[in-house]
Homo-oligomer: A and B are copies of this chain.
Amino acid sequence: MGKVRFESDGNRNATVSPRGLNLVIDAHLRRLRKRDVIGAAEEQAIRALVSQTQRVSAHRTLIREGEKLEHSVLLIDGWLARAVDMAGGARHITELHVPGDFADLHGFTLKRLDHDVVALADSIIALVPHERLKELTDRFPHIARVYWFSTNVDAAIHRQWAVSLGRRNAFSRMAHLFCEIFLRLDVVGKTTGASFDFPITQEQLASCLGLTAVHVNRTLQALRREALIELENRRLTILQFDELKRAGEFDPSYLYLDRQPE
């Protein structure tokens, strides 16, 4: 998958042409607006956060645990994850990020992370200086609350993953994850009908679900056998969303996608 090729020029971080920067932050605004009203002045200020974007290659570690942070990473396109490395080489992924997400907005207040941020696939990101976030949130207390809200939704996602890890079997856990990912991608317009690009390897899925890659493979087969999903050529199709939700005991309210303006 071109790991070496990308790694080799990864440090150059070729910038994306600034033309269309306004377009590039659309998914982010779209998601914010799913949850609150963003005024015109606020929108303008948010768009001004991003001055340039970068390409990053699959498997790159963007941020390392403990590193002092000066900016946060906004995902424009691709897949990022928060990963905790453990003694013994095991790695656990605590959240997947889809376009429009800040992968480490919590870094704005924490100043260092308790996990790595890694690219699971070739991606496009934007760096947002904390300095600029500070100005923005000082100027617009409402935006501060919207972003605070946003990190609180991340925590809600963590909670649901923990419930899955603690109380659901492999089949149910995976069903729950696919439901979540589908909805989150749908909000930012990254689905086509019931399908979406899903370049996540079984190994990476295992890191999310607290399973081994072998068992992920078997569980995927079970989901296919039950005709709940299709997954081929890195594209996932949900065949029976209602059944999948039932299998994962999925209730989307923890994603807080219903608009609740202040």
User: Which residues in A have some Cβ–Cβ distance to B below 8 Å?
Assistant: 66, 82, 84, 86-87, 90, 92, 94, 106, 109-111, 114-115, 137-138, 141, 144-145, 148-149, 151-156, 158-163, 165-167, 209-210, 249, 253-254, 256, 260
- A159→B82 contact, CB < 8 A: yes
Other-chain residue from B66, B90, B155 in contact with A155 (beta carbon distance below 8 A): B155
B residues near A66, Cβ cutoff 8 Å:
253
Contact of A159 among B84, B149, B163, B256 (CB under 8 A): B84
Bound Cα distance A110, B151 (Å): 10
Determine the distance from Cα of A99 to Cα of B92 in the docked complex, in whole angstroms. 30
Known A66-B253, A141-B138; judge A94-B163 contact (CB<8 A): yes
Are B159 and A115 in contact, with the CB atoms below 8 A? yes
Q: Which of B110, B145, B153 contacts A152 (CB 8 A)?
A: B110
The CA of A136 and the CA of B144, in the complex, are separated in Å by 14
